[in-house]
Amino acid sequence: MNYTEFRQEMKAFPNFSVREIEKHFPEFDSRRLVEWQKKGYIQKLRNRYYCFSDQEVDEPFLYYTANELYHPSYVSLESALSRYGFIPEGVFQITSCTTLKTNSFNTPIGNFTYRHLKPSLFFGYQLEEWNDHRYAMAEPEKTLIDYLYLHPEIKEADDIEALRWNALEINNRISIEKLNRYEAYINSPALSNRLSTLKTYLDVAT
């Protein structure tokens, strides 16, 4: 098998694992991957995961890749805060939540960080369409909850204010009813205290 045949068969995949390759080419010789990396045809993202070197690297591709590199996971935290306009600046890595252990991967296309959540908190995300594929992104309400849950140092209004969150944009995008429903389901006094602080900050700031 040559590279042209491989490219034709795998071009529908934004990135691909060795397992995916072997589904299409059962007799695949993995030495070809080393050869094609040296020739600049493909890039290694992490062990056994690759993408084509000419793949356009935009935000949807990075979100999709984040899901694929460490599964199950969904994009959240700083990446989702930026996506929804809740923070003023862009971010330089893709942040996700996962039921697996906390981890990170530095790749040629960007850095990917994953924070562990217990399985009962792995909800509140939506599947977004991109080029006949889908990636999981935290809902606006769950984005806030994930961040507050994973940052116990946030205790007072000043701590929220220091984050420079866009209160107007948050109020415009979130459903307080959904936020309260998720809070009740999680049933964590510590999280409820932080959410109470956030709600007070949102009321005062808008």
59-205 adopts what CATH topology? Beta Polymerase; domain 2 (3.30.460)
pLDDT computed for residue 1 by the predictor: 80
d(CA 198, CA 161): 9
Please state the pTM of the whole predicted model.
Answer: 0.95
pLDDT per residue of the chain (206 residues) written in tens, 0 to 9: 899 999 999 999 999 999 999 999 999 999 999 999 999 999 999 999 999 999 999 999 999 999 999 999 999 999 999 999 999 877 889 999 999 999 999 999 999 999 999 999 999 999 999 999 999 999 999 999 999 999 999 999 899 999 999 999 999 999 999 999 999 999 999 999 999 999 999 987 66
Closest CA to 2 of 50, 23, 10: 10
- Structural domain spans, the chain: 3-52, 59-205
Place of tokens 């809740």: 86
Closest CA to 190 of 160, 124, 145: 145
Closest CA to 3 of 21, 17, 20: 21
d(CA 68, CA 51): 11
